[in-house]
Amino acid sequence: MTSQRKNSTILINQEAFGTLLLIQNQILGKFNKLMNEDEADEVIRSGYFQNEPMPYAYTFAPFGKKNQKTILEAKQGDKIELIKDGKIVGHIVCSSVFKLNNAEASIFRARDISLPSNQRAGEFAISGEFEIYQDSLKERKAYTKRIIENYNIKKITALMLTADPFHRLHERLVRMTIDKADLLIIFLIRTFDGDKRLSFDLRLKTLGFFKDNFLPHDRVIIVPFENTYLFNDHINPVLECIAAHNFGATKLVVGQNHGGIGMFYDESGANTALDKYSKDLNLEVIVMPEFVYCNECRTIVSTKTCPHGQHHHIKYHANTLKELLYQGILPPAILMRKEISAMILSELFPNRFYDLQRIYDDLFPNSGILEKHNQKEFYEQLMNLYQTTSLT
């Protein structure tokens, strides 16, 4: 039986909200509650819980005087509301309260950001069942499970992308991955906030456009991780392995320069820090080589197979591509698909041109019929002119 005390609330931020969603949907493991002291100690001591690998304990100790006061006053069975941005987004039913002795081992600390420890965790933690009401992941995970079961799919590959921005190397990686899988799950992950970061919605829009227009529809599923920061910029590949496994993947593809994989070599050959989890989860981890555009080969190649030197290689630096986009410049088509560049520029620079229709009609051939055009179409046609070769 649960009871509710007046003004019994805990304030959470976006980071905690996203982590709770992952736990609720069993994306980080089958256990979907906030752990008590004994359960947390087992995870910290062994790295496992209920026969599953678990690198972090589900200990919840939100920082702040008000939050800590609520936790200290909580009794078993109390229902405590979770507040985010002034709105009730869920609740916890208190099972126990205990002093948190190892904050660094908490899943809520897995995103290792440079903040003082007293701003990231309180002194006391609360355990128990909880529910988040706005659950965007529930249907996406259920849909993925239905597809796998209905079609008896066996070879399922996962790929985690920031797509910031989505460029030609991403395209090549996606196509190579689909070629050896029956189903590809693309997880779109958040990036650290900043002035030179494309919005999550815009990145999802560009990725969705590529999927809908250039990939087989029945073999690709996009899973937006829009509410969680745990996978930011690939800082925690171990959690990527676990999330991919719990979505049904049998293989995970990561890049050679993937942050945190810890590539090393011994007498058995190349190894990564993910090998242990690969074995525990029965998940094959594929480390892809570095790819570049070679102006001698005139295509995208692996640095391991291209015979030409680095002076012939064009690298796909995401920050440089974004610098061009934020300056309003269309990246060359060998770097980014023109339709993708056009989508991004039309959102970064809305209403950029005073008389877009006149400029469009002056530059591009038309059928003689008056037609309305938007900025996206303008950028696409402009790229077509850049690619004209007879006078260049």
- CATH number for the domain spanning 149: value is 3.40.50.620
Write out the residue range of the structural domain in which residue 282 sits.
Answer: 137-288
Domain match, 171 and 121 both: no
Categorise residue 346: left if φ over 0, alpha if ψ from -120 to 50, beta otherwise: alpha
Q: Rounded to whole angstroms, what are the CA distances from 159 to 22, 37, 178?
A: 18, 35, 10
The answer to the question of residue 119 being in a domain is yes
Domain match, 19 and 81 both: yes
Phi, psi dihedrals of residue 162, rounded to the nearest 5°:
-90, -30
Tens of pLDDT along the chain (392 residues) come to 565 555 599 999 998 999 999 999 999 999 999 999 999 999 999 999 999 999 999 999 999 999 999 999 999 999 999 999 999 999 999 999 999 999 889 999 887 554 445 446 899 999 999 999 989 899 999 999 999 999 999 999 999 999 999 999 999 999 999 999 999 999 999 987 666 789 999 999 999 999 999 999 899 999 999 999 899 877 788 999 999 999 999 999 987 666 555 554 445 545 566 888 889 999 999 988 889 999 999 999 999 899 998 999 999 999 999 999 999 999 999 999 999 999 999 999 998 887 888 888 888 877 666 677 788 888 888 888 887 666 54
Judged by DSSP in three states, 135 sits in: coil
- CATH number for the domain spanning 66: value is 3.10.400.10
Structure tokens at 66: 């008000």
Alpha helices for 282-329 (secondary structure H): 318-326
Structure tokens at 228: 């969680």
The answer to the question of residue 2 being in a domain is no
The answer to the question of residue 82 being in a domain is yes
Is the pTM for the entire model greater than 0.85?
Answer: yes
Judged by DSSP in three states, 176 sits in: helix
The answer to the question of residue 21 being in a domain is yes
Nearest to 197 by CA among 158, 240, 172, 232: 232
Alpha helices for 136-270 (secondary structure H): 136-150, 168-179, 200-214, 237-246
Cα angle 167, 228, 193; round to 5? 60
**Which residue, of 134, 169, 199, is where some domain finishes?**
134
Q: What is the amino acid identity at position 98? A: F
Instruction: Give the side-chain half-sphere CA count within 13 A for 83.
Output: 12
Asked if 283 and 246 count as a contact pair (C-beta separation under 8 A), the reply is: no
Q: How far apart are the C-alpha atoms of 133 and 72, rounded to whole Å?
A: 25
Domain match, 267 and 143 both: yes
**Which residue, of 134, 163, 178, is where some domain finishes?**
134
Instruction: Give the side-chain half-sphere CA count within 13 A for 152.
Output: 0
The answer to the question of residue 1 being in a domain is no
Domain match, 144 and 240 both: yes
Q: How far apart are the C-alpha atoms of 160 and 252, rounded to whole Å?
A: 9
Domain match, 27 and 116 both: yes
DSSP letter at 143? H
Classify each residue of 179-205 as buried b or exposed e, where b means 16 or more C-beta atoms within 10 Å of its C-beta.
eebbbbbbbbbbbeeeeebbebebbbb
How far, rounded to the nearest angstrom, does the alpha carbon of residue 363 sit from its chain's CA centroid?
A: 40
**Which residue, of 107, 134, 161, is where some domain finishes?**
134
Categorise residue 324: left if φ over 0, alpha if ψ from -120 to 50, beta otherwise: alpha
Q: How far apart are the C-alpha atoms of 222 and 224, rounded to whole Å?
A: 6
The answer to the question of residue 392 being in a domain is no
Domain match, 252 and 279 both: yes
Domain match, 306 and 189 both: no
Q: How far apart are the C-alpha atoms of 387 and 330, rounded to whole Å?
A: 12
Q: What is the torsional sign of CA 340, 345, 351, 353?
A: negative
Domain match, 249 and 162 both: yes
Domain match, 284 and 337 both: no
pLDDT of residue 390: 61
The answer to the question of residue 4 being in a domain is no
Residues 6+ apart with CB under 8 A from 65: none
Domain match, 114 and 155 both: no
Judged by DSSP in three states, 245 sits in: helix
Q: How many domains does the chain have?
A: 3
Structure tokens at 82: 């979770």
Domain match, 225 and 281 both: yes
Q: How far apart are the C-alpha atoms of 245 and 157, rounded to whole Å?
A: 10
The answer to the question of residue 3 being in a domain is no
Domain match, 236 and 330 both: no
Question: The tokens 């993925």 sit on which residue?
Answer: 144
